[in-house]
Structure 1
């Protein structure tokens, strides 16, 4: 009676490595090639833990065969352990998700607690921007957001989602593209550009807020302009005093990025606000002179924060920097322009002097700043001479008799006795004056009264005034 050799079966599992051999089959092969029935010792069925050494040959003549058997079992164990560590990336049947598989990606999220919804009537950009902020802060993936999309829409937007998106779109990015296409105006790109061109910085608006608003507009475009173009568009729409200061500052430190623009504008804005908070002088007039033997009128000005004492000269048509002033302008890093139509000028002593170049200098007087063209004439002894062009651009009204000055925008204090007639009053001022007269004269009545505010003395024995 021949005994058919039995073959052992080995199975693998991707669960923690377990290798089992069928208890009903075993194979053995002798060194001579003759097949023998392998009679094995078995452990009792109630053995506590199965082992790969469960089946041990009973005779020593099968040692070589058993060694090869154990080597095969060791290789199978290594293979099973390797399969256990393989990372699986699931792929959907239609397009697939881009998120790598992990345990958090498979967990559903409840976006209803985020309190962010879109009903088809509000701003698409505001909805998507807020949703992206919450997605990042909560650690949610785009795949999770897509699965919970039904909780994000209401009203018309929910109807649109059920009809065109549900079971038809398999990535969040594609849903965003379709959402913009469905609910944004047809010419929204052109409308955004029109708003960018119209939007200027408001007078009380902080420069940081204005730049942030403009950047938000740029982010809503399908093709965002490069940083240099955005810097130029924003600069052209800043408040005038910022543009004037930036024009002189760019000569020393070119502004090439939004970050550079924000830093420069913030510094200028803080300086401007600081100067506005300086209390005004007690009178409407500013002194021109200090106690000195020089009776010529001098004015204290600032150039990029440096204090300079400049001479007011009504005989000079242009503002001139002498040798000392030229040195100061070079130290401040301002750019010298050498091309000029005029190469010489005539000074007060009728001497012709050479003009070596010109500067565009931001000059500050109290809280007012103007960019003045300054000619460089090294032969002039004074550091800086303020000509008539400075007077006009700055709105300066000097009073050389009283050694003081005012701005042309300052409202003079008029003595009430000088209002002798209604001539020169506007219609509104005339109506107000008539109202005051009617009100107070009604209180006086028909009889003349007396006042204690003014004292009047009549001298009866004085000599007549000679005419």
Structure 2
């Protein structure tokens, strides 16, 4: 990059050089530093060297053998599971023998539950295919704690602050976010940085809020799948959407009239 900057006719300010360098980093390093601020190129270089050393230490780690030791320490050492062994850049070690049809970790935790008819969108995060729920009622995008830990093995990092955001769902329940993470999300050849609040007890792995909709401009695309019909008072009842009041019991009619009076 230094050679590139020297070839420019007009010298580029160091702050802009930092931005160019960060945009051209490998995905692992980019995910670690793009939310950070640096005062100089040297500071950015030092950070990347530290990350490189950490990555090398992880890749060179070898688990000790428990069979040849009389202490309990080796038994407590981390042992790579079959699904986690896919991340060759970050960790290594003994692999548990399991059936070959065991789903990859991304496929297992980033897909809708069977029978879930809500709209899910397939995107790419850190080079991994993920499915997230499209929720136009959510002001921000969310990621579950387990899903975040899954992506953390691919380079995602957690940011925290003294003030913990409080998430209120549609049913009124409240959950505290443990922090946030900025992830590079790719959809239809477009890549944007999206901020996700990390909520430990949310059941859906990924929820794409209204800011995600605006960033990728997918509102018009979703509306194409909605059929709009012109309904008269007559065919509105005949379509089966509403039941005629004549089919109601006297008790149901009484309850209906009470509710009608409340809105007059």
TM-score by length of 1: 0.28
More strand by share: 2
TM-score by length of 2: 0.47
Structure possessing the higher radius of gyration over alpha carbons: 1
